[in-house]
Structure 1
Amino acid sequence: MQQARDFGAESAALDAVLDRLDPGHWHRPTLFKSWTPEDILIHLHFWNRAQDLALTDPARFETEMAPMRAALEAGRGRLHEAEVVRERGPVLRAAWAAYAAEMARRWAAVDPRRRVPWVGPEMSARSAMSARHMETWAHGLAIWDMLGLTREEDDRIGNIVHLGVAAFGWSFAVQGLAAPPHLPRLELTAPSGALWTYGEAGCPDRIAGPAADFCKVVTQTRNVADTALHVTGPVATAWMAQAQCFAGPREVPPAPGARGPEARAREA
């Protein structure tokens, strides 16, 4: 399954940039809700293991998710993650990286259509791996930003573009709004230079520009105003103002200028 290989490659790319962290960086707040690199790896490692368990032992997955469901309802999800994942600092990095690599190899052999349980509705193995890829890419960006680095993107972000498009209706539903009847026309330039298109060519609502910027907006790692996307039409404008490709309650995108290496430089 290609999505599993992409997840493995994204995890390896994040692991490589962690070489740049000095001891003080592990507890330095990023511009993502003041999460530290350690917080980010705890989160990724917890949910990687949970997703893997959903595949390898669904009954145990349900048992181990019961306290997390209770924690989420009580607003203690992150505390529960930190209680379960005991490693910290470089030891955490090694555990997360090794597990992600092993998990990617295991899932690469799985039928993409296989159904697996999850905290919400069950989903296909393909969707599960795309979600783990998206989470790694999105949370990892906060570390690149903290270090003042620009990440070199790869066409594997096509998985995240697909998630973003699939979540068009959800981006309105989570706001308590009815989804518009049509998807805007998307004309996105992949990192390789290829053109990725979605929607009808004649649609008056249109989004054009770098695919990576579209991914940043739908994962809420950038405000659309801080991207090179060209957005026209009321539906496209409303979508990009509130896009959310991940599950859970409504989240508010970052304010203009709030995320990115430049924002970190201003803060320093």
Structure 2
Amino acid sequence: MLNYTLDTSDLERDVAVLDLVAEGDELDALVSAHTDWTEPTPAAGWTIAHQIAHLASADANVLIAIRTPDAFDDVLKQVEAAGSRHADLDAAAGAAKPRSVLLEQWRAGRTEVAAALRDAPRDRGFPWYGSQVTATLMAPLRLMEVWAHGQDVFDALGVSRRPTDRLRHVASLGVIGRALSFHAAGLPVPAEPFRVELTGPDGRTWAWGPENATQRVRGSALDFCLRVTQRRSRADTDLTAVGADAQTWLDNARVFL
């Protein structure tokens, strides 16, 4: 689990929640119009139904964490008991439900999550996997997951997806969670600052880090988001890096374990 904080205002948190809703609605429009949810997606062994079941399950766990945080221990115990197979088993159980039931479950859950994140004090912590998070952090985290699993569905159906400014939430998580990429690869986290310059969907530049940093990453925001969510290999993106540590980051980039 990522272990970092986002310093945002209530307004920015609310914007992230609105963007989360929009991300879910976009994917909903795609999958609700497609009757065959048994289509395989790029995730090995996962159909469209598995992808939606995973999102629905995660939303249910978010609600447990916010509403009854003590009960989240039971969620963690289930994950520990299943080990590395947990996500696959959980998604398979949800995918076995009738399409209409799963769709309504996902719709209801994401509506409740949006309301819970909007109503929760933005700085109040609640448990998540391996850490405490806040509504300020959970909103973009949920958006990132909806976008990433949604990409699997778009890819499976061969449907072109128009990038939006909502990608900035995903890109921000990728930038400030850079240490995770090094930890996951068993490498020391560089102390040197990085500069990241990404071209947003409207052509504007999104930038993080000092302008004089020697470790630099450039490219499209879309490709950066595809890379940090492990949806594309580095070779399949337009991303460029200057500096050995920046090269290593792109080689191992990720935003979740």
TM-score, normalization by structure 1: 0.84
- 1:230-245, aligned counterparts within 5 Å? 230-245=240-255
Partner of residue 216 from structure 2, selected from 201, 206, 211? 206
Q: Name the CA shift for 1:13/1:84 in 2 (closer, same or farther; >3 Å).
A: closer
Distance 1:33 1:70 in 2: 22
Query: Is the 8 Å Cα contact of residues 66 and 116 (structure 2) preserved in structure 1?
Result: no
Match of 2:49?
38
Q: State the match for 1:139 in structure 2.
A: 149
1:110 aligns with 2:120: yes
Q: Percent of aligned pairs with the same residue?
A: 32
1:80-120 CA-partner distances (Å, limit 9, x unpaired): 45447863323212220232123213312222211011121
- Identify the match of residue 13 of structure 1 among 13, 17, 26: 26
CA contact (8 A) 2:94 2:102 kept: no
Question: Shift of the alpha carbon at 1:144?
Answer: 0.6
Q: 1:210 to 1:12 in 2, by over 3 A?
A: same
For the 8 Å contact 1:68–1:80, the answer to whether it is kept is no
Aligned to 1:187: 197
Aligned mates of 2:217, 2:251 — CA distance in 1: 12
Aligned to 1:157: 167
Instruction: Work out the CA distance in 2 between the residues paired with 1:138 and 1:152.
Output: 14
Matches of 2:42 and 2:117, distance apart in 1: 32
Pick one of 221, 230, 242 that aligns with 1:220. Answer: 230
Q: Specify the alignment match of 2:59 in structure 1.
A: 48
Q: CA deviation at 1:200?
A: 1.9
Residue 105 of structure 2 corresponds to residue 95 of structure 1: yes
1:61 and 2:61 are equivalent in the alignment: no
CA distance in 1, matches of 2:66, 2:95: 20
User: Are 1:168 and 1:183, in contact at CA under 8 Å, matched by a contact in 2?
Assistant: no
AA aligned to 1:122 is Q
Q: CA deviation at 1:134?
A: 0.8
- Residues 139-184 of structure 1: CA deviation (Å, up to 9, x unaligned): 1101111111221122122111111012111110111110112243
Give the counterpart letter for 1:54 in structure 2: A
Q: Which residue of 2 aligns with 1:70?
A: 81
Q: Which moved more, 1:134-143 or 1:29-38?
A: 29-38
TM-score (norm: length of structure 2): 0.87
Specify whether residues 85 and 37 from structure 1 end up closer, same or farther in structure 2 by C-alpha distance, changes over 3 A only: closer
